[in-house]
Structure 1
Amino acid sequence: MNAPVGLVIRPVTKADVAALVEIMLPVFRAGETYAIDPDITQEGAIAYWCSAEKTVFVAEARDHIMGSYYIRPNQGGGGAHVCNCGFVTAGAAQGKGVARAMLDHALATAKAQGYRAMQFNFVVASNQRAVAIWERAGFGIVGRLPGAFAHPKHGDVDALVMWKDLGVRP
């Protein structure tokens, strides 16, 4: 699927905070994809998403923020060569190629920053749209955590660890 015409992915600014909150809170409150307290405050959501160790980007088209992602080292020290990302897409933008465009940007950013792999630590298995996007991009399921996520509709579901080698060598 192609991204919306005119989609630009750029670093987040303070002016984007209100739009980020509008995108994140419904996702976090639904409790279906992130292991975050569904009662998180606006301030807590921004603090989580935009914490100091993360580099945050937004996907914007026609002056509307359609999604956001962050990239960060997955671990410190000997694990810092592997990055981790989080993605969130506005409800109205789902299924329109925004997540895939952000993933492509994240992969290019990760390579440019010298990361050698990208790892998703906790992909809720019932989030089939995300799992399919990551698998089409070459991510493999390298671990399964049985019943690790208490889904509000499906009960305990597995969480997946997904990984992709970026082909970058020191």
Structure 2
Amino acid sequence: MRIRPATEADWPAIWPFWREIVEAGETYAYPLGATSEQARGWWFDGSHVVVLVGDEDGRILGTAKMGPNRPGRGSHVGTASFMVDPSARGRGVGRTLGAHAVEWHREQGFAGIQFNAVVETNTSAVRLWQDLGFVVVGTVPGAFDSASHGRVGLHVMYLDLS
């Protein structure tokens, strides 16, 4: 597997799993029923976007976007979002993208990385981020309306890079 910068030409390969993940209603608060153009605008929003490509077939297995969590005086702390094609889960795609995001933020001189909204019932993601050194600094109760669990908490997670 290799990571490379994403281009707009990658969107047709990202869109099907982006839509599947969002429509499942378990991990992202993007509006349901988004069009491809709306979703592309949200994902390619000026952030640094990468894709993980499977070396065996050149297929895009996952994508991540990263950059400052806030503008201006908050721009020294980064953030990132990740999506892994459900058919590629269990192959280390999320871990590879996560490790890349941590290294990218270090190289860019960020002081830390803050994830604003990790759904507490997304236990595989919570465990992955904790394995990579992130800690839960707080949980907003009932802030996410999970399709299968109802209202659940959103973790704010942080990794100090100093």
User: So what's the TM-score if we normalise by structure 1?
Assistant: 0.92
Equivalent residue for 1:3? none
Equivalent residue for 2:90? 95
**Equivalent residues in 2 for 1:127-142 (5 A)?**
127-142=122-137
Q: Which amino acid aligns with 1:106?
A: A
Listed one character per residue, the Cα deviations across residues 41-97 of structure 1 (whole Å, up to 9, x for unaligned) are 111111100012x01000001210000000010011111000010000001111110
Equivalent residue for 2:16? 22
- Aligned match of 1:59 in 52, 68, 92? 52
Runs of 4+ in 1 over 6 A off after TM superposition: none
Q: What is the CA–CA distance in structure 2 between the aligned matches of 1:107 and 1:124, rounded to whole Å?
A: 20
Equivalent residue for 1:159? 154
SS in 1 for 2:49: strand
Contact 1:125-1:159 within 8 A present in 2 as well: yes
- Aligned match of 1:50 in 36, 44, 54? 44
Equivalent residue for 1:85? 80
Q: What is the CA–CA distance in structure 2 between the aligned matches of 1:8 and 1:23, rounded to whole Å?
A: 19
Equivalent residue for 1:4? none
Equivalent residue for 1:71? 66
User: So what's the TM-score if we normalise by structure 2?
Assistant: 0.96
Percent sequence identity is 38
* Structure 2 segments unaligned to the other structure (5+ residues): none
